[in-house]
C-alpha cells in the first residue's frame, strides 16, 4: 500500500511538471499571422502533447478513484473485523469473571480476552493512522488536488480555444476571399467584423498567435 501511495504521488508530480511545460509552450508560441491561420509544427506538437496529457490525466484519476474504493472497502472490512474481535474479547473476559471458581478457565479466558483486546486496539490504530491518514486522505486530496484539476482544465480550455480559433480563422479567410472577389463596402465590413472577433479571441485566451 505504501508503494502504491508513492506511485500515486509520483504520478501527480509528473502531471504537474508536464502542466508547467505546456503552460510555458502556450505562453511562448502559437499561430503565425497570415491571410489564413497557419498551424505550425510546434503548435501541432503542443496540441498532441495536450491530448496525451488529458488522456493520461483522466486515466490516472480513474485509477486513483478505484484505489480509493478498494482502500475504503478494506478499511470497512477491517472495522467489521475489529468490532467482532472486540466483542469476542469482551465475552472472554466476561467468561473469566463468571467462572472465577475454575481458576484455569478463568485465567485462560481473561488472558485471551486481554490479549485480543490489545491486538484489536493496535489494528484499529493501524486502520485509523495508516490506512486512513496516510493512504486514503492523501489519495482523496490528490484526486481533487490542483495538479490534476488544472491539468484537465488546461487541456479542455486549450481544446476549446483551438476549435474557436480554427473556426474563426476559416471565417476570416472566407471574408478575405470575398473582398478580393468583390471589394464592396458590405464585404469589407464583414471582413473587419471577422477580424475583430479574431482579436477578441486572442485577448480572451491571452495567447500571441
The 10s digit of each residue's pLDDT in 11-68 is 556 555 555 555 554 444 433 333 333 445 666 676 677 667 667 767 777 877 888 8
pLDDT of residue 165: 77
Examine the domain organization and report whether 66 and 121 are in the same domain: yes
Examine the domain organization and report whether 83 and 68 are in the same domain: yes
| pLDDT over 70 (residue 7) | no
In a domain, 20, yes or no: no
pLDDT mean over 185-205? 83
Examine the domain organization and report whether 116 and 209 are in the same domain: no
What tens digit of pLDDT does each residue of 105-163 get?
Answer: 677 777 777 777 777 777 777 766 677 777 777 777 776 665 556 666 666 776 777 77
Full-model pTM:
0.45
Which of 144, 168, 186 terminates a domain? The answer is: 144
In a domain, 190, yes or no: yes
Contact between 54 and 158 under an 8 Å Cβ cutoff? The reply is: no
pLDDT of residue 12: 59
Examine the domain organization and report whether 187 and 171 are in the same domain: yes
pLDDT of residue 20: 57
Examine the domain organization and report whether 136 and 200 are in the same domain: no
In a domain, 150, yes or no: yes
| pLDDT over 80 (residue 101) | no
Examine the domain organization and report whether 48 and 134 are in the same domain: yes
Which of 98, 126, 144 terminates a domain? The answer is: 144
Confidence band for 208, pLDDT divided at 50, 70 and 90 = very low
Examine the domain organization and report whether 71 and 161 are in the same domain: no
Examine the domain organization and report whether 81 and 55 are in the same domain: yes
pLDDT of residue 37: 39
Examine the domain organization and report whether 75 and 156 are in the same domain: no
In a domain, 26, yes or no: no
In a domain, 132, yes or no: yes
In a domain, 153, yes or no: yes
In a domain, 5, yes or no: no
Examine the domain organization and report whether 64 and 132 are in the same domain: yes
C-alpha distances (whole Å) from 68 to each of 84, 138, 146, 160 are 24, 10, 18, 31
Domain count, the chain: 2
Examine the domain organization and report whether 135 and 172 are in the same domain: no
In a domain, 8, yes or no: no
* Containing structural domain, residue 160: 146-209
State the first-to-last Cα distance of the chain, in angstroms, to the nearest integer: 47
Examine the domain organization and report whether 158 and 135 are in the same domain: no
pLDDT mean over 79-91? 75
Count of CA atoms in the C-beta half-sphere (13 A) of 147: 22
Amino acid at each position: 500500500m505504501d508503494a502504491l501511495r508513492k506511485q500515486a504521488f509520483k504520478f501527480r508530480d509528473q502531471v504537474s511538471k508536464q502542466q508547467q511545460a505546456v503552460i510555458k509552450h502556450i505562453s511562448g508560441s502559437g499561430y503565425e499571422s497570415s491571410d489564413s491561420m497557419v498551424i505550425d509544427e510546434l503548435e501541432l506538437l503542443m496540441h498532441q502533447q495536450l491530448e496525451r496529457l488529458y488522456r493520461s490525466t483522466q486515466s490516472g484519476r480513474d485509477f486513483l478513484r478505484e484505489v480509493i474504493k478498494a482502500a475504503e472497502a478494506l478499511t470497512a472490512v477491517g472495522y467489521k473485523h475489529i468490532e467482532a474481535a472486540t466483542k469476542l474479547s469482551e465475552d472472554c473476559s466476561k467468561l473469566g469473571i463468571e467462572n472465577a471458581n475454575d481458576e484455569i478457565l478463568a485465567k485462560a479466558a481473561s488472558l485471551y480476552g486481554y490479549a485480543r483486546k490489545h491486538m484489536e486496539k493496535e489494528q484499529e490504530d493501524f486502520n485509523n493512522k495508516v490506512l486512513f491518514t496516510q493512504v486514503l486522505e492523501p489519495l482523496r486530496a490528490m484526486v481533487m488536488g490542483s495538479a490534476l484539476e488544472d491539468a484537465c482544465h488546461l487541456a479542455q480550455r486549450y481544446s476549446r480555444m483551438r476549435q474557436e480559433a480554427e473556426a474563426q480563422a476559416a471565417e476570416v479567410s472566407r471574408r478575405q476571399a470575398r473582398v478580393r472577389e468583390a471589394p464592396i463596402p458590405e464585404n469589407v465590413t464583414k471582413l473587419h467584423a471577422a477580424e475583430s472577433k479574431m482579436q477578441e479571441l486572442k485577448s480572451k485566451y491571452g495567447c500571441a498567435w
